[in-house]
Amino acid sequence: MKFGYFDDVNKEYVITTPTTPYPWINYLGSQEFFSLISNTAGGYSFYKDAKLRRITRFRYNNVPLDLGGGRYYYLYDEGDFWSPGWAPAKKELQSYECRHGMGYTTIKGKRNDVSTEVTFFVPLNFNGEVHKVVVKNESDKAKTLKLFSFLEWCLWNADDDDRNFQRNFSTGEVEIKGSVIYHKTEYKERRNHYAFFSVNAPIAGFDSDRESFIGTYGGFDAPKAVVAGQSNNSVADGWSPCASHCLEMELQPGETKEYVFILGYVENPVEDKWESKGVINKTKAEAMIAQFATTADADKALAELKADWDRLLSKYILESGEEKLNRQVNIWNQYQCMVTFNLSRSASYFESGVGRGMGFRDSNQDILGFVHQIPDRARERIIDIASTQLQDGGAYHQYQPLTKRGNDAIGGNFNDDPLWLILAVVAYVKETGDYSILDVMTPFDNDMSVATPLKDHLKRSFDHVINNLGPHGLPLIGRADWNDCLNLNCFSTEPGESFQTTTSKDGRVAESVMIAGMFTYIGGLYARLMEKVGDMDEAKRADSEVDKMREVIMKDGWDGKWFIRAYDDFGKKVGSEECEEGKIFIESQGFCVMGGCGIEDGKAIEALDSVEERLGTKYGLVLNNPAFTRYVVEYGEISTYPAGYKENAGIFCHNNAWIMCAEACVGRGDKAYDYYTRIAPAFLEDISEIHRLEPYVYPQMAAGKDARRFGEAKNSWLTGTASWNFVAISQFILGIQPDFDGLKIDPAIPKAWDGYKVTREFRGDIFEVEVKNPNHVSKGVSSLVVDGKEVAGNVIPMFNDGKRHTVVATMG
């Protein structure tokens, strides 16, 4: 069942009912000011950091669902009132529609023949959300209407805001000037920042104290002021400051009124001391408000935002015969990659914004799917991430976006982390040809006095693996590798002690075949990079370490029909036929094959066949099988999940992509594409009632075959799934691969395909690539013609002339 439809021309998903199976959200902003907005206008905003600079309040896990806060509008019409986005008033509407687009959301609702359309967006280079509100009287009589706005301020630190009531109920401060409501509560140390909510019209009243607006025992569904059709002109003094305007309008039949509201954030220089307590310098806010004096200003900014997205999405355009594939590749997957790049795993409807900042592993992987969009931002991000690395090559697992400092509370010792940095840097260099990034002096743990060139950080990343090998010569897993929940050094003699402990009986010797596989793949790329910069000795050393690791994997990491997953702290195999449960895991199959293990002797194919047989389901591949049905202290958190959920045999969409890549590496395009379509959201639109989450973005996970709710997704939006699936489809399946010396064409497609076209902007040139498949093969380019001339091999040479070039790649 569907709850809307794709409008590909406008790059929108159109939701036709407010009661979607779960709130279906969108993101606004992609620079410094960000907002989450649901299809009924729930959600919140923050500046840079969802924890430390939360602007509006949102209650997670609230009842009823998605009424924890938002930017709400209410229409008042002679005693009746409603919200055009249905929530929070939840009055029946004559019509409703929500369009989630690229960085904007438009919600339309009609009741009493009054239609209201609100378009929410964060303009480019603007620290605020603009709401364009259009109210139209579609009835045949004149109407006197009132329009109420409402949002609730968060006292900046979202974590503290949610806990520290003894203090926070006494700190709230606001100021009302004309039609602008300023929020100027100070947060502990004095910071010169504030927020405001304005409207470009005179107001009939306002409220800035939540209790006055909704009533002490009231709710957002029927605020006291709206029910009465009258604001209280309340000025908040502590408690919960909010911002609500009331506008009065007379509308003749057919007449329309338009308004621009702005929710803005201002940061004055910290040194620029406030004159005295509570007096703020409003110059910047006034300038922001003046920028959107009219709705025409808002329309222009929205058009600019759309043009910017058209530009970003023009870098990779697929024309295939499959509509769902086109929309997935051309619009939504790339859009999700931008969002994950911006937010890492910090703020979604499943991530509270206070639990996590930027992940070292996560943000590096996000670069893979994002780098072609804005390479300069990828470069900056790589340096930020690398600056949190430790001198031994290890890394802080997370850092806070506002401070860019490693998070001590979480620490490090996830031994896969360092390798992802190499992968991100290789992706950046292949995309841009900019080797100068390797010379950037980059600190360790943000300490510039111990900075070395980025190239040296990569060496330390590589060495971190070989300096930490276990008894079989496989990499030590540390606290966990990519699979956060496989905590093999978790043995604890204290009953009930946390599985995250690193105390172990034998002294932390658990090893990861997945890291070993990653090392063969990423270590190989590192060697190629070293060759390119002329460091032949380092390239040779890296190649020989990688060869050695391949041998170790084939000797002690092969189980007979697949790659084992790990050795636990007692030296016992994990992910082996010998195990009672969890006999096979997906991760090592993907990476060992990508790293070239078992290619010649057929073991790679055997491993991938085992994946299909044991892990395959109609909704994607589960992570492991059989699922754990009981807690295993030696394995840690993974076995705490019920069977079929999350890392315990859930369909983890992220690592499904590794199998697609591995299948492409062994030339099985049909399988690669089949796996792709099993999890790609646009292909699941028709089963939205089962899947439940947005049909336009990937979730982290869907319940696996062992779960009662098989196929039901969770954790949409912020997941490495976005970038890895984009890599899988755009580079491994469609085969348009940035390489050091040019664009390589190496598809692995279903045999039945006749061909397709990809327009790819690469290092400033535009390549119009037509792939033809006259002999119906899956792999292998037999001829490459560039601008009418035959080229040897399958790499398009660089022109660097900023022009369009036509390319015909014939397979067979």
Binding mask 448-487 for ligand BGC (x = CB under 6 A): ------------------------------------xx--
Q: What is the DSSP string of 220-242?
A: TTS-HHHHHT----B--BSS-EE
* Residue 362 binds: one of ligand NOJ, ligand BGC, none (C-beta under 5 to 8 A by kind): ligand NOJ
Residue 484 among the catalytic residues: yes
Question: For ligand BGC, how many residues bind (rule: CB under 6 A)?
Answer: 4
Euclidean distance between CA atoms 752 and 666, whole angstroms: 18
Beta carbon nearer to ligand BGC, 244 or 648:
648
What's the closest the beta carbon of residue 638 comes to ligand NOJ, in angstroms?
9
Residue nearest to ligand NOJ (CB): 484
What's the closest the beta carbon of residue 105 comes to ligand NOJ, in angstroms?
26
* Residue 568 binds: one of ligand BGC, ligand NOJ, none (C-beta under 5 to 8 A by kind): none
Residue 706 phi/psi, 5-degree rounding, is: -85, -10
Q: Which amino acid is at 440?
A: V
What six digits make up the tokens of 631?
A: 């807690």
* Residue 482 binds: one of ligand NOJ, ligand BGC, none (C-beta under 5 to 8 A by kind): ligand NOJ
First-to-last alpha carbon distance for the chain, in angstroms, is 40
Beta carbon nearer to ligand NOJ, 26 or 364:
364
What's the closest the beta carbon of residue 715 comes to ligand NOJ, in angstroms?
8
Q: Tell whether residue 647 is a contact of ligand BGC (CB under 6 A).
A: yes
Residue nearest to ligand BGC (CB): 484
Q: Which amino acid is at 21?
A: P
Beta carbon nearer to ligand BGC, 282 or 479:
479
What's the closest the beta carbon of residue 227 comes to ligand BGC, in angstroms?
43
- For residue 333, the surrounding DSSP H or E stretch is helix 333-343
What's the closest the beta carbon of residue 359 comes to ligand BGC, in angstroms?
8
Euclidean distance between CA atoms 646 and 777, whole angstroms: 36
Residue 409 CB contacts under 8 Å (≥ 6 apart), including other chains: none
What's the closest the beta carbon of residue 647 comes to ligand NOJ, in angstroms?
5
Q: Which of 115, 49, 47 is nearest to 82 (CA)?
A: 115
What's the closest the beta carbon of residue 377 comes to ligand BGC, in angstroms?
24
Q: Tell whether residue 685 is a contact of ligand BGC (CB under 6 A).
A: no
Tell me the three-class secondary structure of 518-539, residue by residue: HHHHHHHHHHHHHHHCCCHHHH
With 0-12 / 13-18 / 19 or more C-beta atoms within 10 angstroms meaning exposed / middle / buried, residue 502 is middle
Q: How many residues does the chain have?
A: 812
> How many Cβ atoms are within 10 Å of 434's Cβ, its own excluded?
13
Contact at 8 Å (CB) between 675 and 663? yes
* Residue 714 binds: one of ligand BGC, ligand NOJ, none (C-beta under 5 to 8 A by kind): none
Q: Tell whether residue 646 is a contact of ligand BGC (CB under 6 A).
A: yes
Beta carbon nearer to ligand BGC, 679 or 784:
679
Which residue in this structure is represented by tokens 């602008």? 180
Active-site position among 161, 209, 484, 569: 484
Strands 765-772 and 804-811: parallel
Three-state DSSP state, 85: coil
* Residue 545 binds: one of ligand BGC, ligand NOJ, none (C-beta under 5 to 8 A by kind): none
Beta carbon nearer to ligand NOJ, 381 or 772:
381
Beta carbon nearer to ligand BGC, 175 or 647:
647
What's the closest the beta carbon of residue 757 comes to ligand NOJ, in angstroms?
35
Beta carbon nearer to ligand BGC, 261 or 360:
360
Euclidean distance between CA atoms 334 and 327, whole angstroms: 10
Instruction: List the interface residues with ligand BGC, window 483-512 (CB under 6 A).
Output: 484-485
Binding site for ligand NOJ (CB under 6 A): 345, 359, 361-362, 482-485, 647
Beta carbon nearer to ligand BGC, 715 or 731:
715
Euclidean distance between CA atoms 526 and 553, whole angstroms: 19
Euclidean distance between CA atoms 529 and 426, whole angstroms: 7
Which residue in this structure is represented by tokens 């596989």? 517
Residues labelled catalytic:
484
Chain contacts with ligand BGC (rule: CB under 6 A):
484-485, 646-647
